[in-house]
Amino acid sequence: METRRRSRIIIVLTIGLYMLLVAVAELTLSGQPPPHTVALLNATGILFLIAGIAVVMTSLNREFYPAHAAHDNQDKTVKSFDTELTDKIVATMEAGAYRDESLNLAVLSGTLGVPEYQLRRAINQGLGYRNFNSFVNEYRLKEVGMALADPTKARLPILTLALSAGFSSISPFNRAFKAEFGTTPSRYRASHNGQPLKNS
């Protein structure tokens, strides 16, 4: 993900620079037809620009380079990811950092004292999560799921449990919960506590 972000920036800057050069050339010519050499240089520049973008885009997709991808996978098994950082991330989350509803990538990177790009890479590649939200929500949903299955907490409102776990409101919580458990929180609680279902 970080590589793709950097590649997009490079592509945009390169195209912008080329467009600037074209604009300067047109202003210099003052509407006159460009010489054949200038037209040839322009066509050559466009060709190299397109070829460069194509190379960058295909290099981001490992399916185009199966041998290279296999080599990368082998390197990962021999040389593990930064386990010190991933262990630190997990320890911070297990200590309850996920309960802060304002927690985001910037906040967590500040807490851990690491750059955001390193934290993002550790979460995506080291821990295997699609994005930061899915990483944080797993901890929050685990806590709520355990609370809903706990008979001693049967009288606590579901909203209270969701907010205590770090969700900012009920709607995103309900969506995330159903996506994770395949059912609504109320049905989940009823199925684990043998309660009659009043509301879905």
Please check the confidence at residue 62 and state whether its pLDDT lies above 70: no
Q: 142-146: which pairs have CB atoms within 8 A and are 24 or more residues apart?
A: 143/98, 143/99, 144/173, 144/177, 144/185, 145/177, 145/180, 145/181, 145/188
For residues 141 and 55, the model is more confident at: 141
In the block, tokens 């985001």 appear at 104
* pTM given for the model: 0.59
Confidence band for 107, pLDDT divided at 50, 70 and 90:
very high
Q: Tell me the average pLDDT of the chain.
A: 80
pLDDT in tens, 118-143: 999 999 999 999 999 999 999 999 99
Residue 75 has pLDDT above 50, yes or no: no
Tallying the residues shown for the chain, one arrives at 200
**Digit-coded pLDDT (tens) for 2-53:** 566 666 777 777 777 777 777 776 677 666 676 667 667 767 777 776 777 7
What single-letter amino acid sits at 156? L
The pLDDT of residue 171 is 94
Q: Is the pLDDT of residue 102 over 90?
A: yes
Residue 89: CB atoms within 10 A of its CB come to 22
Does position 116 have pLDDT exceeding 80, yes or no? yes
Percent of the chain with pLDDT over 90: 53
Q: Residue 85 has what pLDDT?
A: 93
Gap between the Cα atoms of 90 and 113, Å rounded: 15
